[in-house]
Structure 1
Amino acid sequence: MSASATASTTTKARRRVPFWAQVLIGLVVGVVLGFLARTFALGWLTETLNTVGTIFVQLLRVIVVPLVLTALIVSITQLRHVANAARLAVQTLVWFAITALISVLIGIGIGVLTNPGSSATISLEGARASGTQGSWLDFLKSLVPANFLGLEVSSRVTPSADTVSVATSLNFNVLQLVVIGIALGAAALAVGAKAEPFVKLAQSTLEIFQKLVWWIILLAPIGTAALIGKAIATYGWNLLAPLGVFALDVYLGCALVLFVLYPVLLKLHGLSVRRFFAGAWEAITFAFVSRASLGTLPVTQANTIDKLGVPSSYASFAVPLGATTKMDGCAAIYPALAAITVAQLFGVPLTLQHYVLIAFVAVVGSAATAGLTGAIVMLTLTLSTLGLPLEGVGLLLAIDPILDMARTATNVAGQALVPTIVAKRNGILDEDVYNGRVSTAPQPEPALA
């Protein structure tokens, strides 16, 4: 056999390994490396894992601003090609709210039954308020863009023995990006034919950045090993044990939503549960290890269109919107359980009114998770609404990366589920694609197929 033929066979074999399997292999490798680093105190290995994982996350973050902005502009302008676009948009938001409400009720139910705060053995001496906080006023203010790209500059002063160093970082407000993207898309629709060059530029820009994201995602197995390895090396059982019941509750709540609630909704709409998870599995597994709904957006959208049969014109609106506002894990299950835990830790009794407020915040305030810093903001928003001590946030931060994996996987599954259900209800779901009887055009990167 010639060298070229051997290389071709090797390449085909590599491509036959599904993307989700590559990610899971990376996860196993990361667990082993993290265990070795923690067991044998291998500082260099921990640092290496941290460096590689940080680089991978930074690559995903740097692409988010242009990706989200152009995706929303294009999705809004493409709605003109969709029959009953307004009805589809309203139904999408209604199903976002319905699944969020059921998810938060599941979280509250688990918390009431298990009393995670009462069984915690963590000391309150380490309680501190989170540096990133959320309130309804913060949420309302964050809706108004401070600049064109929703960028924010923050500085951190670090004193040392001889000098004082100032670290300046540039962050972005995703919720403001959503507002800007929707406004630009709506304006382009209103302008009409004269806006076609702008729309075509946005479409071309989106294609370019989606290609960049797919290239970054090809590094997912390596990034997975680094991120999981760093988590294992840094967060051992000695940190998890004091909040063990709370951590198990979060995973149980996510599992109930992911493997009970979503399948029930699929069955009620006459859809195969197995085919849904087969179609969305790449996005779900990537979300689990990357802990980034926005970074998973290209995979989620590709899976929703190519494997679940949702029309591209509708999915290009619903999936980006879901990636910024549909957070059943971060905005429903987690803050409900965390609020109950914090209340029990500080001896604050919760009444029926408190539980109603938790549900209200989960349904109405979930967009706040995109406004600042994910679940931490949603938690502080919930605690402040209930009048609970914000210092409780600091007690939960140590194990947050471990919990965030399950939360993000649940978020992304919901972001694929709702467009599928809405498409089915409106008779626009391609059920031949959904059931695997036909395939659509190949994904941008065959290696992920």
Structure 2
Amino acid sequence: MLETFLNGYLQISNWTTVFFIFFFLVAVVMIRKLDKMEYNYTKILVLAMMIGVVLGLLGNWMANEYPTITKEVSSWYGLVGYGFMDLLKMVAIPLVFISMIRVIITTKQDFKKLAIRTVIVLATTTVIASVVAILLSGILPLTESLTTATDTQNSIREVSTFVTTLRGMIPSNAVDIFAKGNILAVIVLAFLLGISLKSLESNESVQPLIRLVEATYQLIRKLAVFIMDLMPYAIIPLLANVVITQGNSTILGAINFVVVLYVAIIVMFVIHLVIVRLFKQPVKEYLKAVKKPLLLAFTSRSSLGTLPVTIDAMTTKLHIPSGIADIVGSFGANMGMNGCAGIYPTLVVITLATMLKIPMDISFFIMLVFVVVLGSFGIAGIPGAATMSVAIVLTGMGLVEYYPLLGVILAIDPILDMGRTMLNVNGTLVAGVVVNELEKKK
């Protein structure tokens, strides 16, 4: 009876699980003490990442002799790591909703022009990301053969048409869009409510509602900051989980793809820094300001979950007005993702075309970039969203039936997603810098 309780309910079948839980708690206590000593926050985050990698490598090595580690330790670590991400996702949607309403009723700027400018900037960087991937695939040729993994999905996810995606942005049920996390529909609803409230702002009877919006905004921002303070403790299990479950066995089957992807990410990151410099933002100051959201994005693999941290970095570190930060952050978490919706699907299509010996000429690449940009709209910023983006692009390029050939790539998706998500978030931050400077010139 006790054994069933421990194994089935507590998921502690041997000493190894207790060992990993214990050392995680030791790490938590150590980080807590460093935090109380007001130790450098960046160093704390780096230390947390190092601890996560060490625990992950140790767990992956021991999993050969103790297979329960993969399930049990990952489950316990997921309680903290993914629980933290759940809290961030929980606060992200109400933060976007109330921020959008507040922006409209308080900003003196033209909201429609600001939104259009944001979309154009995000789409432009996605085009650049796709072109970078195309050029690098020629310089660093992708593999011509990949063995299909047996431990991953081999059927394509349901793909919506472009018109259906646009239709999904129209809120038909206010409760339903919040329950389903349809953040684009939430933005549209907030926009409509904000415009309506803005038109009544001179009416004395709506002043209490306007004050309520401001008070709610301050409350949610405070809650977001409180949750973000837990980030160092969550990074350890988040990173450890990826290493424990993935290890290095599956990555060997697609090492060429991983190398090209990360080289493309690095090149695009450098291009981001060039753009930042062109728009009068010192690169050194910029990197110092954005290190927190980039580290969280890398370990959490969620652009949407990182959204509160991204907006906070734009307002408090980059000194971008909250109105611009809220709009750019909200749009950037759902469209124009340079990593997941730009570089990644481009490389996947080229990989498939290479494997199938499909001729690739200039018209092929122009069509690919066009489909990639269209597919980048409305991709939710959550872990795994890149799979949906790939599904859309493959459908647009007529290669959807060959999706199962990507088995190995899908198997190591968490490893790929870390770099992709970091680039997504950096693209949003860069868009914030660009849009802010354009607004100043206007």
Q: Please confirm whether the aligned pair reaches a TM-score higher than 0.5, indicating the same fold.
A: yes
Q: How does 1:44-443 map to 2 (within 5 A)?
A: 44-79=72-107, 81-82=108-109, 85-118=111-144, 120-122=146-148, 128-151=154-177, 171-194=180-203, 195-258=206-269, 260-370=270-380, 374-389=385-400, 390-392=403-405, 394-427=407-440
Task: Check conservation: 1:35, 1:233, Cα contact below 8 A.
Answer: yes
**After alignment, is 55-64 or 366-375 more displaced?**
366-375
The CA distance in 1 between the partners of 2:176 and 2:357, in whole Å, is 40
Q: Note the alpha carbon deviations across 1:243-274, whole angstroms, 9 max, x for none.
A: 1111122211111111x211221232333111
**Displacement of 1:193 after TM fit?**
3.0
The TM-score, its normalising length taken from structure 2, stands at 0.82
Q: Note the alpha carbon deviations across 1:104-157, whole angstroms, 9 max, x for none.
A: 1101222233332415344699772233434324423322224214448xxxxx
Amino acid at match of 2:94: P
For the structure 1 residues 386 and 326, does the alpha-carbon distance in structure 2 shift closer, same or farther, using more than 3 Å as the test?
closer
**Displacement of 1:232 after TM fit?**
0.4
CA RMSD of aligned residues (A): 2.7
Partner of 1:40: 62
1:145 is paired with a residue of what secondary structure? coil
Task: Check conservation: 1:34, 1:230, Cα contact below 8 A.
Answer: yes
**Structure 1 residue ranges (4+ consecutive) displaced by more than 4 angstroms after TM superposition:** 10-13, 84-87, 121-127, 392-395
Q: Note the alpha carbon deviations across 1:362-414, whole angstroms, 9 max, x for none.
A: 33332221289621211111010001134345553211111111111111112
Task: Check conservation: 1:150, 1:177, Cα contact below 8 A.
Answer: no
**After alignment, is 96-105 or 369-378 more displaced?**
369-378
For the structure 1 residues 348 and 149, does the alpha-carbon distance in structure 2 shift closer, same or farther, using more than 3 Å as the test?
farther
Q: Note the alpha carbon deviations across 1:196-226, whole angstroms, 9 max, x for none.
A: 4333323322222222222222221221111
The CA distance in 2 between the partners of 1:339 and 1:14, in whole Å, is 50
For the structure 1 residues 365 and 204, does the alpha-carbon distance in structure 2 shift closer, same or farther, using more than 3 Å as the test?
farther
Q: Note the alpha carbon deviations across 1:47-74, whole angstroms, 9 max, x for none.
A: 3223322322222222232122112222
Amino acid at match of 1:236: G
For the structure 1 residues 397 and 135, does the alpha-carbon distance in structure 2 shift closer, same or farther, using more than 3 Å as the test?
farther
For the structure 1 residues 36 and 371, does the alpha-carbon distance in structure 2 shift closer, same or farther, using more than 3 Å as the test?
closer
For the structure 1 residues 425 and 151, does the alpha-carbon distance in structure 2 shift closer, same or farther, using more than 3 Å as the test?
closer
**Displacement of 1:329 after TM fit?**
1.2
**After alignment, is 174-183 or 142-151 more displaced?**
142-151
Task: Check conservation: 2:305, 2:381, Cα contact below 8 A.
Answer: no
1:15 is paired with a residue of what secondary structure? coil
Task: Check conservation: 1:231, 1:401, Cα contact below 8 A.
Answer: yes
**Displacement of 1:326 after TM fit?**
3.6
The CA distance in 1 between the partners of 2:82 and 2:356, in whole Å, is 35
For the structure 1 residues 246 and 93, does the alpha-carbon distance in structure 2 shift closer, same or farther, using more than 3 Å as the test?
same
The CA distance in 2 between the partners of 1:25 and 1:11, in whole Å, is 11
Amino acid at match of 1:174: I
The unaligned stretches of length 5 or more in structure 1 are 1-9, 153-169, 430-449
1:324 is paired with a residue of what secondary structure? coil
Q: Percent same amino acid at aligned positions?
A: 27
2:201 is paired with a residue of what secondary structure? helix
**After alignment, is 391-400 or 233-242 more displaced?**
391-400
The CA distance in 2 between the partners of 1:11 and 1:125, in whole Å, is 41
